[in-house]
Amino acid sequence: MPDPSLTLISHPLCPFVQRAAIVLLEKNVPFERISVDLSAKPDWFLALSPTGKVPVLKARQANGEDAILFESMVICEYLNETEGGASMYPDDALLRARQRAWIEFATPTLADAWRFLNATDPATADAKRAAFRDRLERIETELGSGPYFAGPAFGMVDAVYAPLLRYFAIIDPAVSQLIFDGLPHVSAWRAGLATRRAVRDAVVEDYAERFRDHLRQHQAILAA
């Protein structure tokens, strides 16, 4: 049964929720997951989330009170520091700082990818595909032999980028191939993340169809 001391308040399609879920699963921490309708946010959720966004983590304290955390990376850092298992960052301060910098780089990378995926006109799609590809080329130069960002150990950078790279296994393979062509390290990283159990289990079983429905509802060019 889920441990009631940790509750992750979620939305089935949110990539930022997936970050926290991946860390929880990597740490093998039982937790309860509650989904909210972000198009009709309930009052109890708005009372918890100052930004009105997910994820939100409720962490039951020893005195029985709930501590409320919001913002995905704040939640991920808290879980990494308080839950057992290996740290998802290297011990070396410089390497740790560099990885946090690449985590910051994920935010505009996700924004470009999301605008490409949801584009309703060819001009926007072409511009955002090019911008996303440029960011992937930057990441390509940072990656080594893999299978993960910093080598054989799955870390926080991997948890952050996995939800973003997941999208490209759902859309038309021909479109994804054009984006990742000539990026062998990024392509291998993407493939490695897709097989990681925590990455797979961070979403609901019908996630792919839910995402396709989202594209259709938004009349995206990529909708199938």
By C-alpha distance, which of 204, 154, 207, 167 is closest to 21?
A: 204
Among 38, 62, 82, residue at a domain's last position = 82
**Alpha-helix residue ranges (DSSP H) falling in the chain:** 15-26, 43-48, 72-82, 93-117, 122-142, 156-166, 173-180, 184-194, 197-201, 207-217
Q: Are residues 100 and 210 in the same domain?
A: yes
> Mean pLDDT over all residues of the chain?
96
Q: Are residues 58 and 130 in the same domain?
A: no
**Residue 35 backbone dihedrals phi, psi, to 5 degrees:** -95, 145
> Which structural domain range is residue 55 located in?
6-82
3 has a pLDDT exceeding 60: no
pLDDT of residue 4: 64
Question: Tens digit of pLDDT for each residue in 186-223?
Answer: 999 999 999 999 999 999 999 999 999 999 999 999 99
Query: Residue 221, class by beta-carbon neighbours within 10 Å (0-12 exposed, 13-18 middle, 19+ buried)?
Result: middle
In a domain, 223, yes or no: no
Q: How far apart are the first and last CA of the chain?
A: 38
Share of the chain above pLDDT 70, in %: 98
Radius of gyration of the chain (CA): 18
Total domains present in the chain: 2
pLDDT of residue 30: 95
Q: Are residues 76 and 97 in the same domain?
A: no
Domain at 69, CATH number: 3.40.30.10
Domain at 203, CATH number: 1.20.1050.10
pLDDT of residue 2: 46
**Residue 15 backbone dihedrals phi, psi, to 5 degrees:** -70, -25
Q: How many CA atoms lie within 13 A of 110 on its CB side?
A: 16
Whether the Cβ atoms of residue 134 and residue 126 lie closer than 8 Å to each other: no
Contacts 24+ apart (CB under 8 A), 127-133: 129/179, 132/179, 133/179
Q: Are residues 76 and 100 in the same domain?
A: no
Question: Tens digit of pLDDT for each residue in 37-48?
Answer: 999 999 999 999
What's the whole-number mean pLDDT along residues 155-180? 98
Q: How far is CA 113 from the centre of its chain?
A: 12
In a domain, 209, yes or no: yes
pLDDT of residue 169: 97
Question: Tens digit of pLDDT for each residue in 60-119?
Answer: 999 989 999 999 999 999 999 999 999 999 999 999 999 999 999 999 999 999 999 999
CA distance 198 to 182: 28
In a domain, 149, yes or no: yes
Q: How far is CA 90 from the centre of its chain?
A: 20
Q: Are residues 78 and 97 in the same domain?
A: no
Among 47, 82, 117, residue at a domain's last position = 82
In a domain, 88, yes or no: no
Q: Enter the pTM of the model.
A: 0.96
